[in-house]
Amino acid sequence: MNLHEYQARALLKAAGIPVPDGEVVTTPEEAEAAARRLGGKVVIKAQVHAGGRGKAGGVKLAGSPEEARARARDILGMTIKGLVVKRVLVVPAAEIASESYAGIIVDRASQKPVVMVSPAGGIDIEEVAARTPEKIFRVAVDPRYGLLPHQAMGLAFKLYRQIDQVRAAARILEQLYRVFIDAGASLVEINPLATTPDGKVLALDAKLVVDDNELERRPEIAAMRDLDSEAPEEVRAREAGLSYIKLDGTVGCCVNGAGLAMATMDLVKYYGGEPANFLDIGGSSNPQKVVAALEIITADKNVRVILFNIFGGITRCDDVARGIVEATGKTPLDRPLVIRLTGTNEDQAVAILKEAGFSALTDMDEAVRQAVALAKERA
């Protein structure tokens, strides 16, 4: 789960990291009032879960409270990568002497948390990694000890020469590591980690991604989820226990298992079609999940044909068949259905579908070919 910048900076601040004041507002009038309280000259930042906010025009400088109101009016309601901006963060426009980067991820290769810093801050760190990898410094942390003081100092020396700044940055890194662990994060970033002309070290932006598997035991973090900022059909899918991602194609896919779901989408493309979604109904699928899945797929008006690809293991094919019959009994489908089922209880599933007037295939390629052909016919 992604946190908004204003949520992430609140966590950083609570951990003692120096973060400038700021206010989250939802109207231009509030932005103006906030700017007045923050000293007049401010930056207005769109709060959406999308990278490249600046390039999309979602981050603007305002020289006065009146201008803050105008810029907030520009940004509120604008769409960035399909997401409507409903909140903006108003922060004082800080004078910056230097911009660095600090971040922590769980590194798959070393299987440890890795703390990274770079003196080349303020720009996308992946760009730095691609162009000037020698400007990124890393330390793999033994999770049983945490980030050790000498490791934090070692990294901080890569950023600053002045010992006061080095100490300040090292303290920030240790605090950042604590935020990372306490929030159950898979990524936390400060970019830029800035210095001001008078020598202070400050976190000017914050990004935090929480491991979804941590949310059950961290209700205070789970409560930060902003349903408004996610596609409504993805919220519905999650509530139904499904994993769904909308794409732009016309072949609606309903599959059990993430790997097979991706392979099914790939095969749709291979045969000249475009998948409309990723949808994994998960392991032990009950008929209700299938009903919810069909509702979500059919709500997408781009979908011209619905393809089921089920390989029964824990998932029983007859459960899926019952779900299909139940869902289509309630609201008859206005689009064709291609069903492929094989594995556990395949025969019962075929019998259930047959009685309801459906046919089922057993071969994945054949099913995908048929679905793609139907999508093209209905173009």
Residue pair 338/370 in contact (Cβ under 8 Å)? The answer is yes
Q: Are 250 and 268 in contact (CB under 8 A)?
A: no
Residues 309-338 contacting other proteins, CB under 8 A: 311-315
220 is an interface residue for other proteins by CB under 8 A: no
Vertex 147: Cα angle to 179 and 108 (nearest 5)? 80
Q: Is 217 in the site for other proteins (CB under 8 A)?
A: yes
- Edge-first strand order for the sheet with 243-246 is 243-246, 277-280, 251-255, 305-312, 337-343
Contact 173, 102 (CB under 8 A): yes
Q: Which of residues 38-67 bind other proteins (CB under 8 A)?
A: 51
CB of 326 to other proteins, least distance (A): 23
Active site residues: 101, 189
Closer residue to other proteins (CB): 65 or 257? 257
Select 235 or 262, whichever has its Cβ closest to other proteins.
262
Q: In whole angstroms, how close is the CB of 21 to other proteins at the nearest point? A: 31
Give the integer Cα–Cα distance in Å for 162 and 167: 9
Structure tokens at 319: 């459960």
> Hey, which residues does 113 pair with through a beta bridge?
106
CB of 163 to other proteins, least distance (A): 32
Exactly one of 27, 98, 196, 243 binds other proteins (CB under 8 A); which one?
243
Separation between Cα atoms, residue 229 and residue 352, nearest integer Å: 40
Instruction: Report helix angle 317-330 to 346-355, nearest 10.
Output: 20
Rounded CA gap, 194 and 201, in Å? 6
DSSP, res 272: T
Q: Is 235 in the site for other proteins (CB under 8 A)?
A: no
Among 98, 196, 342, 348, binds other proteins (CB under 8 A): 342
Task: Determine the Cα–Cα distance for residues 13 and 6; give it in Å rounded to an integer.
Answer: 10
- Report the residue from 82, 133, 213, 379 that binds other proteins according to the rule CB under 8 A: 213
- Residue span binding other proteins (CB under 8 A) among the ranges 36-44, 56-64, 101-109, 287-295: 101-109
For residue 22 the two structure tokens come to 């700021």
Angstrom distance (rounded) from CA 266 to CA 246: 15
Of the candidates 344, 348, 356, 373, which one interacts with other proteins according to CB under 8 A?
Answer: 344
Residues numbered 19-38 forming contacts with other proteins, rule: CB under 8 A: none
| Among the listed residues 258, 299, 333, 351, the single contact to other proteins using CB under 8 A | 258
User: Of the listed pieces 13-21, 253-261, 320-328, 370-378, which binds other proteins according to CB under 8 A?
Assistant: 253-261
Show contacts with other proteins in window 152-211 (CB under 8 A): 181, 184, 186, 211
Kind and range of the H or E element at 325? helix 317-330
Site string for other proteins, 103-132 (x = CB under 8 A): ---x-xx-xxx------------x--xx--
Within residues 347-366, the interface with other proteins by CB under 8 A covers 364-365
What gap in Å lies between CA 208 and CA 105, rounded to an integer?
Answer: 10
Question: Is residue 23 within 8 Å of residue 34, measured between CB atoms?
Answer: yes
Dist. CA 16–CA 165, nearest whole Å: 16
191: nearest Cα among 172, 210, 211, 212 = 172
Q: Judged by CB, which is closer to other proteins: 79, or 331?
A: 79
Site for other proteins in 281-310 (CB under 8 A): 283-284
Residues that bind other proteins (CB under 8 A): 51, 106, 108-109, 111-113, 126, 129-130, 142-144, 181, 184, 186, 211-214, 216-217, 243, 245, 247, 255-263, 265-270, 275, 278, 280, 283-284, 311-315, 342-344, 364-365
